[in-house]
Chain A
Amino acid sequence: MGSQGGFYQSKEFLDLVKSIGEARSKAEEDRIVLNEIETLKRRISEPDIPKRKMKEYIIRLVYVEMLGHDASFGYIHAVKMTHDDSLLVKRTGYLAVTLFLNEDHDLIILIVNTIQKDLKSDNFLVVCAALNAVSKLINEETIPAVLPQVVELLAHPKEAVRKKAIMALHRFYQKSPSSVSHLVSNFRKRLCDNDPGVMGATLCPLFDLITRDVNSYKDLVISFVSILKQVVERRVPKAYDYHQMPAPFIQIKLLKILALLGSGDKQSSAKMYTVVGDIFRKCDSSSNIGNAILYECICCVSSIYPNPKLLESAADVISRFLKSDSHNLKYMGVDALGRLIKISPEIAEQHQLAVIDCLEDPDDTLKRKTFELLYKMTKSTNVEVIVDRMIDYMISINDNHYKTEIASRCVELAEQFAPSNRWFIQTMNKVFEHAGDLVNIKVAHNLMRLIAEGFGEDDDTADSQLRSSAVESYLCILGEPKLPSVFLQVICWVLGEYGTTDGKFSASYIIGKLCDVAEAYSNDETVKAYAVTALMKIHTFEIAAGRKVDMLPECQSLMEELLASHSTDLQQRAYELQAVIGLDAHAVACIMPSDASCEDIEVDKGLSFLNGYIQESIEKGAQPYIPESERSGMLNISNFRSQDHHEASSHGLRFEAYELPKPIVQSKIPPASLASTELVPVPEKMYPRESYQTTVPSVSSDAGPSELKLRLDGVQMKWGRPTFSPATSTSNSTISQKTVNGITQVDGASTANSRTRETYDSRKPQVEISPEKKKLAASLFGGSSKTEKRAATGHKISKSSSHMVEKSHVPKSSMEVASEKTPPVQQPLDLLDLGEPTVTSTVPSVDPFKQLEGLVDTTQVASAVNHGLTAAAKSPDIMALYSETPADGDLLSGVLNPSMTNMPGGTTTRQSMPRSKGPNPKDSLEKDALVRQMGVTPASQNPNLFKDLLG
């Protein structure tokens, strides 16, 4: 075909492309493009432009738009172009509109008619062009306009048309599933199309349909399996071969579909085993496409009903992936491991060292994938190491999207598996501190609730220890300059509730700190509100304890400020604080009982505490209250409701009974009014029982716990799990979970470890795996380090239960060691120096990967910093890329294509045009000549432009 795509555009266009190619900066490029837009605006609206000229203008518009500028002034011309009779012009028009318009653009309505006409064309190329446009432009509203015609085209004699029609229907299905729901039979029919291309295309909509509703397609399992079998046996035309693999893209699609169909279905799965096994055997693992298929096989195997033989093959492939030098394959291996681990958890242990290598790899993508794997395999025995690592990583990155994700994962794991309270608090502190504004507010509420409730055990000392450790750590953290709002809310609440409980810190100290917070974060109203309420609590606790409290001057000034605040909420809190301070010890103790945030809120709807008062009034001659249902005169359904509130005032009796007590309630318990402003959930929790006074503590103990109440469900379960309780019970319970498999599993793990070590040894005999790595592995996977093994075997004789306990303790201790050492692990080379001098000499020399790791580690940090900078100022970054162009390009082409220097370059250097055509110098010579003929020498500084992409 040669240079059939030669340059037959006008000189003008070539000049444009050339000048943009030579632009040195983004600003320069923008200027050129803006000029071009002006020109086009002028030209395009001229009358009687020849079609060829118009076509070029449209292509120039596409170019402008591609470079990120607005070409909307020309859209209408592109639309007009689709109306043209000539396919040549029409095709350009369609290309332009598909690139310009989104499916909800107003102009689409102008194209629908043309599309309808074109779908009926005799020329299949016209139909194809129209179908291309259909799949991009038709939206939910316009589907009915073209649907019948597209369906008709499913029977078109040309396979290209059938294929595109299928794809268009697939798009319709994505837009509006109901529009094509009656066409399922057509898809099934197309599956038997004798053109493999059409059949392959049909798999796309079928995949979507099956994803939605597996059960209606179970009958197709046999068909899919037989198609896959035929493909694997190379019965499809050779044209579909790709890198010697028979129709690999179709294979992958089929495997995806089979994975869906076989999921949790033993019978269907059984039909697939043979063919999947065949693929495992036949697949060429040296090519990338072969590996793509193998990966898809693993996905399929891990999704369908498990088959031990296939699982074994899958595990083999995974270990090949993980041992590969290619980062891509390692990545896929880690991903595949994460899938398979659900079915056979023991295979992770074989690959622990490879996984740790991936975790320490300088490649961010690989690292993240590995974290995902670790997240999937977290247990109570390894949670500390994993979460610590995650947090370290979280701190090091700038990508907010991922930071949020990893933070929520940390929280989730910590909640599920935390080995001790203290650890949990510390972990949460770290997460909040570094990703505070990114975590869900629920997390903060959970934390407050946890601190308030303790761990649901009777051990009060542990709870109070937890609280005082929380208070202590928070007081430390308050020294940090900028804390996230959510975290501050937690801190304020905890300080208010428990700041003075253990008597370690004086009230005035805590008050001072709280005032500092309110002042430092003065534009965050929520934090201020939390701080004020905390201040109120501290004050009341002090008063209740009989100590005299003087208002600190800074507190005084804060109050003055807040009393005049624009926020009614803050104002109210300030007034309440003022009112409460004036009360005596007894009243205060009723309003704000110490440590009562977990008491249940009971609201007395019947206001029974007023009984005495009512009795008195009745005795004095007042009329008794008549319930609404018994009232005869006023019973009018239509205004039944409003009776209660407004019109009731005419009903003297009822009104009187309610009005009088009101001031009493208010003066006695000022915070009660709080309920109306912020305690929205309270009414839902009302129970018509008991005295009204019990409501008071709930109100006084701030919004925190009452909000928490709402979220109890769903979280409670996690906390209630036995795994959570402190150290000893943790390990016991997890082991007892395992006791089904008993010792065998534990032993199995250790033997597996020793086996892998053997294989490692045989592969690279001198390599001594660094002790840190082993420790990390041990803590992650439950132990392969030597010391541990000795400990375990030493106790083997003892009966199983004690063995269990022993065993469960061992990983714990090693875990502690590992977690203590986690920071050093990040710089493996340093540590190796410290640890075993002999190791240092051997490891780097034998394991090039490690060497690389050490080298890149620092650069990675630098690049991470760079990332931060680029994120902060992105536009300069692009400019930098531009400016460094020429030198870079030369250098790179030199490196990438050393053969260029050996080329007989004499003939080409005449025009001082640097050329780097590797494999086909003649071709490129022609191209150069052509370019020169046109009078343009695009980007003469950039030889890369001439370089074969595949070269």
Chain B
Amino acid sequence: MIHFVLLISRQGKVRLTKWYSTYTQKERTKVIRELSGVILTRGPKLCNFVEWRGFKVVYKRYASLYFCMCIDQDDNELEILEIIHHYVEILDRYFGSVCELDLIFNFHKAYYILDEILIAGELQESSKKTVARLIAAQDSLVETAKEQASSISNIIAQATK
């Protein structure tokens, strides 16, 4: 099971956090600080895995952004690495060659997309197409809502599906 997902920039700034296990705000801050200390200082040729407090943290760097996922001892690290990549590919497809800036300003979209890939710390959908379709369906709602925001009531928006 994935316990949390972290996106940290090379400078140690948090870009996205998603917690599937329960952590208090204090613990979260501590976890982020501890892990960014460990991961950001690791050299480029080393493993993409770090053992941490009895868990394993799998991370991958994309440009200046680190994607980290914390998993159980007996999970498959290579698979998690690919889940991260899967997520990045979907982000890339969605934003059109995604960059860190996209995620900074649209972090809520990154959350929506993540919610279509992972649920409760498990991979729920491995088809990029399906995820893209679902996100598009939600976005089309947003678009129509924006167009009609002033004139038409929400009931109609709901009817458009």
Contact-residue size bin, chain A (C-beta under 8 Å from the other chain): 35 or more
Q: Is the CB of A5 within 8 A of B106?
A: yes
Q: Given A242-B82, A331-B77 in contact, is the A163-B108 Cβ separation under 8 Å?
A: no
Measured in the bound complex, the distance between the Cα atoms of B102 and A917 in whole Å is 13
Interface of chain B residues 113 through 159 with chain A (CB within 8 A) = 115, 119-120, 122-130, 132, 134, 136-139, 141-142, 145-146, 149, 154-155, 157-158
Q: How far apart sit A924 and B41, CA to CA, in the bound complex (Å)?
A: 29
A687: shortest Cβ distance to chain B, in Å?
44
Q: How far is the CA of A911 from the CA of B53 in the complex (A)?
A: 47
Interface segment among A75-83, A287-295, A409-417: the answer is A287-295
Residue among B43, B82, B95, B158 making CB contact with A5, cutoff 8 Å: B95
Q: Is A227 an interface residue (CB 8 A)?
A: no
Report Cα–Cα, A21/B14, bound state, in Å. 10
Please encode chain B, from 48 to 69, with 1 for each CB lying within 8 Å of some chain A CB and 0 for all others.
1111111000000011110000
Binary interface profile of B, 77-94, with partner A (CB < 8 Å = 1, else 0)? 111011101101101111
Q: Provided the pairs A5-B106, A944-B100 are in contact, do residues A135 and B120 lie with their beta carbons within 8 angstroms?
A: yes
Closest to B78 in A: A292
List residues 12-63 of chain B with CB under 8 A from any CB of chain A.
12-14, 16-18, 20, 22, 25, 28-29, 32-34, 36-37, 40-41, 43, 45-54, 62-63
B138 to chain A, nearest CB (A): 6
Contact in complex: A949, B62 (CB < 8 Å): yes
Pair A247/B98 contact, Cβ less than 8 Å: no
Question: What separation, in Å, do the CA atoms of A888 and B11 have in the docked complex?
Answer: 9
Contact A5 B47 (CB under 8 A): no
Q: Are B141 and A239 in contact (CB under 8 A)?
A: no
Q: B10, A944: Cβ atoms under 8 Å?
A: yes
How many cross-chain pairs have Cβ atoms below 8 Å apart between A and B? 292
| A877: Cβ under 8 A from any B Cβ | yes
Contact of B120 among A5, A91, A170 (CB under 8 A): A170
Residues of A within 8 Å of B141, CB to CB, are: 87-88, 125
Contact present for B51 and A365 (CB under 8 Å): yes
Contact yes or no, B37 A874, CB < 8 A? yes
Asked if A951 lies at the interface with its beta carbon under 8 angstroms from chain B, I say yes
Q: Identify the closest chain A residue to B50 (Cβ).
A: A365
Contacts of A87 in B (CB 8 A): 141, 157-158
CB of B37 to closest CB in A, whole Å? 5
Greatest chain B CB density within 10 A among A8, A135, A871, A893 is at: A135
Given contacts A125-B141, A135-B119, A328 and B49 within 8 Å (CB-CB): yes
Q: Which of B14, B52, B126, B154 contacts A68 (CB 8 A)?
A: B14
For B14, list chain A residues within 8 Å (CB). 66-68
Residues of chain A within 8 A of B106, CB atoms compared? 5, 7
* Segment at the B interface, from A197-205, A428-436, A608-616, A785-793: A197-205
Closest B residue to A950 using CB positions: B92
A3 pairs with B47, CB closer than 8 A: no
Chain A neighbourhood of B48, CB < 8 A:
327-328
* A132: Cβ under 8 A from any B Cβ: yes
| Chain B min CB distance to A454 (Å) | 37
Q: How many Å lie between the Cα of A170 and that of B50 in the bound state?
A: 28
Report how far A126 CA is from B158 CA in the complex, Å.
Answer: 9
A558 in the interface, Cβ–Cβ < 8 Å? Answer: no
Question: Is there an interface contact between B36 and A4, defined as CB atoms closer than 8 Å?
Answer: no
Among B104, B108, B123, chain A packs the most CB atoms within 10 A around the CB of: B108
A240 within 8 A of B: yes
- The complex places the Cα of A375 from the Cα of B145 at a distance, in Å, of 61
A920-939 interface code vs B (CB 8 A; 1 in, 0 out): 10011001000100000010
- Interchain CA distance A264-B121 in the complex, whole Å: 29
A889 touches B124 (CB 8 A): no
Q: Per a CB cutoff under 8 Å, which of A7, A62, A91, A950 touches B89?
A: A950
Measured CA separation A295–B132 after assembly (Å): 29
A760 at the interface (CB under 8 A from B): no
Q: A135-B120, A288-B78 are in contact. Are A924 and B99 (CB under 8 A)?
A: yes
Inter-chain CA distance A163–B85, complex, in Å, is 22
The answer for the CA separation of A896 and B100 in the assembled complex, in Å, is 15
Which residues, 115 to 133 on A, are CB-close (under 8 Å) to B? 123-126, 128, 132
Instruction: State the CA gap A126–B93 with chains docked (Å).
Output: 24
- Asked if A951 and B97 make an inter-chain contact with CB atoms under 8 angstroms apart, the answer reads yes
> Are the CB atoms of B32 and A86 closer together than 8 Å?
no
Nearest chain B residue, comparing its CB with the CB of A859: B43
Q: Are A59 and B82 in contact (CB under 8 A)?
A: no
Q: Which residues of chain A from 186 to 204 have any CB-CB distance to chain B below 8 Å in the complex? A: 196-197, 200-201, 204
In the assembled complex, the Cα of A867 lies from the Cα of B41 at a distance in Å of 9
B65 nearest CB neighbor, chain A only: A949
Cβ contacts under 8 Å, B132 to chain A: 1
Cβ-neighbour of B11 out of A160, A327, A881 (below 8 A): A881
Given that A1-B136, A88-B141, A170-B120 are contacting pairs, would A328 and B126 also be in contact in the complex, using a CB cutoff of 8 Å? no
B136 CB contacts on chain A under 8 angstroms: 1
Query: Which of A248-256, A382-390, A670-678 makes up part of the contact surface?
Result: A248-256
Q: Is A281 an interface residue (CB 8 A)?
A: no
B82–A248 CB distance below 8 A: yes
Contacts of A917 in B (CB 8 A): 97, 99
Give every chain B residue within 8 A of A871 (Cβ-Cβ): 37
Name the interface residues of A777-818: CB closer than 8 Å to any CB of B. Answer: none
| Complex alpha-carbon distance, A135 and B122, angstroms | 11
For A289, list chain B residues within 8 Å (CB).
78-79, 82
Q: Which of A95-103, A106-114, A828-836 contacts B (4 or more CB under 8 A)?
A: A95-103
Within 8 A of B (CB), among A391-446: 401-402
Which residue of chain B is the closest to A289 with respect to CB atoms? B82
**Interchain CB contact (< 8 A) of A945 among B34, B101, B125, B127:** B101
Inter-chain contact B122/A250, CB cutoff 8 Å = no
> For the complex, what is the distance from the CA of A163 to the CA of B146, rounded to whole Å?
29
> CB-nearest residue of chain B relative to A368?
B51
Check: A728 CB closer than 8 A to any chain B CB. Answer: no
Q: How far is the CA of A9 from the CA of B81 in the complex (A)?
A: 32
Name the contact of B128 in the complex, choosing from A8, A174, A239, A923 (C-beta under 8 A). Answer: A239
Is A881 within 8 A of B149, CB to CB? no
B138 contacts across to A, CB distance below 8 A = 91, 125
Residue of A nearest to B92 (CB): A950
Give the complex CA separation of A948 and B93 in angstroms: 12
0/1 string, A246-286, CB within 8 A of B gives 1: 01111010000000000000000000000000000000000
Interface residue A92 (Cβ < 8 Å from any Cβ of B): yes
CB atoms of A247 and B94 under 8 A apart: no
List of A residues within 8 angstroms of B124 by Cβ: 163-164, 167, 197, 201, 204
Chain B residues closer than 8 Å to A160, beta-carbon distance: 130, 134
Contact (Cβ within 8 A) B47 A331: yes
Q: Separation in Å of the B155 CB from the closest CB of chain A?
A: 7
A950 to B81, CA, bound (A): 14
Minimal beta-carbon separation of A611 from chain B (angstroms): 60
User: What is the chain A residue whose CB lies nearest that of B119?
Assistant: A167
The residue of chain B having its C-beta at the shortest distance from the C-beta of A8 within the complex is B146
Judge whether A52 is part of the interface by a CB distance below 8 angstroms.
Answer: yes
- Shortest distance between the CB of A194 and any CB in chain B (Å): 14
CA distance A938 to B20 in the complex (A): 31
Docked Cα-Cα span, A949 to B154, in Å, equals 37
Bound-complex Cα distance A664 to B124 (A): 78
Residue ID in chain B nearest A126 by CB atoms: B158
Taking the closest CB of chain B, its distance from the CB of A99, in whole angstroms, is 7
Task: Kindly provide the distance from the CB of B23 to the nearest chain A CB, expressed in whole angstroms.
Answer: 8
Residue among B79, B89, B93 with max Cβ neighbours from chain A (10 Å): B79
Q: Are B62 and A86 in contact (CB under 8 A)?
A: no
Decide if A363 touches B46 in the complex (CB within 8 Å).
yes
Name the B residues within 8 Å of A944 (CB-CB): 9-10, 63-64, 100
Interface presence of A590 (CB below 8 A): no
9 chain-A/chain-B pairs, Cβ below 8 angstroms: A85-B155, A125-B138, A125-B141, A239-B129, A249-B82, A288-B81, A878-B33, A882-B12, A947-B99
- Besides A5-B94, A327-B45, A328-B49, 9 more A-B contacts (Cβ < 8 Å) are A68-B14, A125-B161, A135-B120, A288-B85, A327-B47, A363-B43, A870-B37, A944-B10, A949-B62
Query: Nearest 9 A-B pairs (CB), nearest first?
Result: A292-B78, A944-B64, A949-B62, A86-B154, A881-B12, A947-B63, A239-B129, A249-B126, A167-B119
